[in-house]
Amino acid sequence: MGIELVWPTVADESLRGRVHSVLHDVVAAGGAIGWQVPPSRAETDAWLDVVLARVSSGDGALALARVDGVVRGTATWLRSTSAVFTHSAEVGRVTTHPSARGLGLGRRLVSAVVDHARAAGLELLTLGVRGNNHGAIELYESLGFREWGRLPYAIAVGDVRFDEVRMALRLGFREGVVLHGSAPGGNGSSPSRRRSA
């Protein structure tokens, strides 16, 4: 069995169909990747167009895992569009087709996306995962991601509410970056309003 990762910058009709098949079938099998019902081809094409536009501008990447030549997994990183967060990106749509579970595609895809983002000069990767997706959380933790926040009951799927777990991975800082953190002073600061006893 041959497994390879590819980084498309354009998508022809064949690739669009294969990506659609993965995204559709993952959601149909209960996967939590942003659609409540299996997406239509038009929906996955629209998503792919947005991602590939970001790829062409240098603000994203799309990794596809092929098993014996057939696309069976996806993962992306997309740079933040906020001026003060352009050093960071969100990892998204990490998927493995139900027929390819157990092959380690998720680990390979996320590892590759992390390496690609680091090579692109990003400093921080973030991601969100549904609180009940314990396997994914364990995978991300094994690759160095750490939980930084949890928004209880934030994800609505019909009448069911799930926690949103936010995770992050620091990739490193370029020389000359000042790590101010939460120290007082500097742009955007305000004095504490607490009175000391």
pLDDT in tens, 88-133: 999 999 999 999 999 999 999 999 999 999 999 999 999 999 999 9
| Global pTM value | 0.92
Residue 197 confidence class, pLDDT cut points 50, 70, 90: low
What is the tens place of the pLDDT at every residue in 1-60? 799 999 999 999 999 999 999 999 999 999 999 999 999 999 999 999 999 999 999 999
- Mean pLDDT (whole number) for 75-81: 97
pLDDT (0 to 100) of residue 196: 65
Residues 6+ apart with CB under 8 A from 157: 32, 36
pLDDT value at 167 more than 90: yes
pLDDT value at 146 more than 70: yes
What burial class does residue 72 get, using C-beta atoms within 10 Å of its C-beta: 0-12 exposed, 13-18 middle, 19+ buried? buried
Give the span between the Cα atoms of 168 and 38, in whole angstroms: 28
Dihedral of alpha carbons 75, 102, 31, 124, sign: negative
Tell me the fold of 3-170. Aminopeptidase (3.40.630)
Residue 192 confidence class, pLDDT cut points 50, 70, 90: confident
